[in-house]
Structure 1
Amino acid sequence: MNADLDTPVLDDHMHLDPVHGRGVEAAAEFADNGGTHLLVVNKPSWHLLEDLPSGAADFREVFDLTVDVVERASEVLPGRAWPVLGVHPALISQLVDDGRDPAEARDLMQTGLDVAAEYVADGPALGLKSGRPHYDVSDAVWEASNDVMKRGFDLAAEADCAIQLHAEGGEDFTEVAEWAEDRGLPAGRVVKHYSGGRLQGITKSVISNKEDLEVAIEEDEPFMMETDYIDDPDRPGAVLGVKTVPRRVRWLLEEGHEEAVRRAHVETPAAVYDIDTEGTLE
């Protein structure tokens, strides 16, 4: 058990960049400050590779880099780290700007998700990552992006795993929940990363600002905590620094929110990802 905080401390969405960033060093800093478990989401392919992906092999290269850094991160954590693999929804804009039409971009991104699902089926990855742009796009790009996300739901249902979404702001994701349920994926296994404290339809992974966490606790619903740390040497500490989740857990415990801490770091991860953050602690 985490001797300092006496609880598992999970960051539900963090990036580790083994090519340009701190990589395992960031995970070690997380552990030094009380963190125990990480869900590490692969960085967008164009951040790790010099070129945009053109086929399955390029996605495999990104996923292999992520799996490797996660394995090494697990060695420095009191608990462990798991990879979450998939495609960043902004890739569609990169591909369209590069000359592909939205349907071609959709097909390539769905190929990336197909490859990611293999990593879930074969064991190293815990879940999938998809979503849709959080900025204004054309109707064709929006429709294609929803098709990519729906493919993610199909694959997550088939693999019996969770899927994290990068999507627009807002609190009503009941339509998205219906799309998942229609494909055999329980809505509770769909996670909106970078969520505020209030969300309808799917599970919220709350960006760990105090005010957002206070709202999540008031809502009295399942939630998790994240930093969306991006491990970019040009933007140190962005989005939130690696120390943030352990610090917020310490603050929540000082404020008497033991039940909320258990919900965010033990109960919700178990329900969503089928992971045991207590049993995987040294």
Structure 2
Amino acid sequence: MNDVDPVLDDHLHLDPVNGRGVEAAEAFADHGGTHLLVLNKPSWHYDVQVSDADDFRVAYDHTLDVVADSNDVLPGKAWPVLGVHPALVSQLVERGFSPEAARDLMCTGLDVAAEYVSSGDALAVKSGRPHYDVDEAVWDASNDVMRHAFALGAREDCAVQLHTEGGEEFEQVARWAEHEGMAREHVVKHYSTGGVEGPTPSVLADKEELVRAIERDVPFMMETDFIDDPDRPGAVLGPKTVPRRTRWLREEGYDEALERAHVETPRLVYGIDTRGTLS
């Protein structure tokens, strides 16, 4: 693999407090990775029970710190993507919040994330809805939170990454984003299979699913969803995985698809230049 070719992991976590932090970014770079989108871990990973806007800043600021350190070791660049994990709604309800009050606090957390985007400190926002069964009131509240993220994405002209349930049909979600003023291409379905419809798929770096996405000839990106949890080493996939899959795909002759995944789609979705940011 040409050492100047961009290799982007579109979704992983780096925990500078409890995990490997920048060491994981170094492992990514040592195996050919160049660019990272780093998602903040949920607030409870830092022993914070959110109750107001400033509580969300703890996880956000840790992410900015580890991104700054990662930029010192990458041949390309890392960007923060900040927001509220959709499972927070369940934690808040268990703490005694109504679904509506939980919704409002989560929207406040997204408002804070959008401030970081507006100031240029973050690239995009993350939101979504639970990937597990919840009652109707919690589901409706979660969809309201997600639509609020889309409104912020439209206002800030930034992408929104989604953590949602499994499946491949998300046309309604894409239409909700369009209703709020976003282009559907700027909505990213994190932890995607190769066949996701509606948002832009960020495909978990499984060989079979990557080939599925390639054969559909649609915009897509690659990710590991590395969690950076010492109790779950390598979960979901380790930081070396995207460079390794990229190398395998290049050996299989998928050069055009790799240009799509690592250059064209990041430019389409986030407005970033992965070639121009290579040192």
Q: Give the match for residue 36 of structure 2.
A: 38
Q: Is the 8 A contact 2:191 2:202 kept in 1?
A: yes
Q: Give the match for residue 147 of structure 2.
A: 150
Of 50, 59, 73, the residue aligned with 2:70 is 73
Q: Is the 8 A contact 2:194 2:213 kept in 1?
A: yes
- Deviation string, structure 1 residues 186-215 (Cα, Å, up to 9, x no partner): 000000000000011110000001011011
1:24 paired with 2:22, answer yes
Q: Is the 8 A contact 2:221 2:261 kept in 1?
A: yes
TM-score by length of 1: 0.98
Secondary structure of the 1:250 match is helix
Give unpaired runs (5+ residues) of structure 1.
Answer: none
Of 251, 254, 263, the residue aligned with 1:266 is 263
Q: Give the match for residue 178 of structure 1.
A: 175
Q: Give the match for residue 62 of structure 1.
A: 59
Of 198, 218, 223, the residue aligned with 2:220 is 223
Name the CA distance, whole Å, in 1 between partners of 2:20 and 2:168: 33
Name the CA distance, whole Å, in 2 between partners of 1:241 and 1:272: 24
1:81-230 mapped onto 2 (5 Å cutoff): 81-230=78-227
Q: Give the match for residue 15 of structure 1.
A: 13
- Deviation string, structure 1 residues 222-268 (Cα, Å, up to 9, x no partner): 00000000000000000000100000000000000000100000000
Question: How much has 1:51 moved relative to structure 2?
Answer: 3.1
Give unpaired runs (5+ residues) of structure 2.
Answer: none
1:233 paired with 2:235, answer no
- Deviation string, structure 1 residues 51-99 (Cα, Å, up to 9, x no partner): 3211111111211111111011111000010000000000001111111
Name the CA distance, whole Å, in 2 between partners of 1:87 and 1:99: 19
AA aligned to 1:267 is E
Secondary structure of the 2:191 match is strand
AA aligned to 1:27 is A
Name the CA distance, whole Å, in 2 between partners of 1:235 and 1:150: 32
Name the CA distance, whole Å, in 2 between partners of 1:235 and 1:200: 31
AA aligned to 1:107 is D
Name the CA distance, whole Å, in 1 between partners of 2:257 and 2:268: 15
Question: How much has 1:273 moved relative to structure 2?
Answer: 0.2
Is 232-241 or 62-71 further displaced after alignment?
62-71
Q: Is the 8 A contact 2:189 2:202 kept in 1?
A: yes
RMSD: 0.8
Which runs of at least 4 in structure 1 moved beyond 6 Å after TM superposition? none
- Deviation string, structure 1 residues 127-154 (Cα, Å, up to 9, x no partner): 0000000110000000000000000000
AA aligned to 2:37 is L
AA aligned to 1:40 is V
TM-score by length of 2: 0.99
Percent identity, aligned pairs only? 67
The count of residues paired between Structure 1 and Structure 2 equals 279
Secondary structure of the 2:81 match is strand
Secondary structure of the 1:179 match is helix
Name the CA distance, whole Å, in 1 between partners of 2:16 and 2:103: 27
AA aligned to 2:42 is P
Name the CA distance, whole Å, in 1 between partners of 2:252 and 2:7: 17
